[in-house]
Amino acid sequence: MAKNQKEDLKLPKVSCLMVTANRKRFLKRSLLSYQRQTYTNKELVIIDDGDDDLAAVLRDLPANEVTYLKMEKKPGNVLGHLRNLSLDEAKGDFITQWDDDDWYHPERIQTQVDVLLQGYDACCLSNTLMHIDREPFFNHPYVSFFKKGTPGSIMHRRDPLIRYPAMGRSEDDVYLRAWTKKRYFKLPGSYAHLFIRCFHGSNTWDMKHFLQQMRNTIPDLVTYGWYRFLKGDLFKHRRFKLNEKARAAFNSYLEDSYAAGLFPRPTS
């Protein structure tokens, strides 16, 4: 084994937990994000209760990094239950949610590992980027904000006592609340570029929920009304103003989306 590989194995192992069902086309992009992570001591745990054959999509992943569990579709297999199955399969010291339809910056894992190595039990991003894949929003990503942190961005230490509730949605919000009672850290808004949440029409939540994330504080609600209804130009809202890292991340996200066949590549 090479010296750098031995050094990597001394680092905490990170389990990336994914629950998927019939989203093969989005899965390609999420797997690209996993493969490009700068942090190397990681594994991917996939719980699949869909009908798609994922063999071709998973073929390029290192076999020793992937745990794949195919589930029969049953009424009781709500998202919270499936996430708990992924917790049971995880072998890592640190655990993070890795959704099948989102995009992650190559430094996402390393950044959050660095936080936990400071002694925290869990961390999340305060802000992420949001993308709606239809007009008039397609070319206008924006910055979301969650007061307690973005649930889907959580990374935490292994703890068998904290589990997801048996719910079909909002399960990750309840799960996050349990972790906020421990040694918990929120990465500030300058790290929003690490995670892009994507609305594509078959999400757990509808488009209204996604748009809500730009007006979920009183100042942002007032600003939203000002620019949408009085000025007639919502895109001047401050949530649409991306810094350099966020803009670069969005461009990378678009390239990965084109490569995965999710969006047609512009001809000019």
Output the 3-class SS for 144-183: CCCCCCCHHHCEEECCCCCCCCCCCCCHHHHHHHHHCCCC
Mean pLDDT by 10 residues, the chain (268 residues): 58 97 92 98 97 93 96 88 97 97 98 99 97 91 91 96 91 95 97 92 61 76 82 87 97 95 86
pLDDT of residue 133: 87
CA distance 152 to 97: 6
**End-to-end Cα distance, the chain:** 47
* Structural domains of the chain sorted by starting position, each given as residue range(s) with its CATH number in brackets: 3-259 (3.90.550.10)
Helix (H) or strand (E) holding 228: none
pLDDT of residue 268: 66
Nearest to 151 by CA among 97, 212, 206, 114: 97
How far is CA 88 from each of CA 141, 163, 179, rounded to the nearest angstrom?
A: 35, 10, 18
Contact 191, 124 (CB under 8 A): no
Q: pTM for the complete prediction?
A: 0.91
Buried/exposed 59-89: b ≥16 CB within 10 Å, e otherwise = eeeeeeeebbeeeeeeeebbbbbbbbbbbeb
Q: Where does residue 11 rank: exposed (0-12), middle (13-18), buried (19+ CB within 10 A)?
A: middle
Collapse the DSSP code of 196 into the 3-class scheme (helix H, G, I; strand E, B; otherwise coil) and give the result.
strand
Instruction: State the amino acid at position 160 in one-letter form.
Output: P
pLDDT of residue 232: 82
pLDDT of residue 13: 98
Judge if the upstream peptide bond of residue 75 is cis by omega within 30 degrees of 0: no
Which phi and psi angles does 235 have, rounded to 5°?
Answer: -75, 0
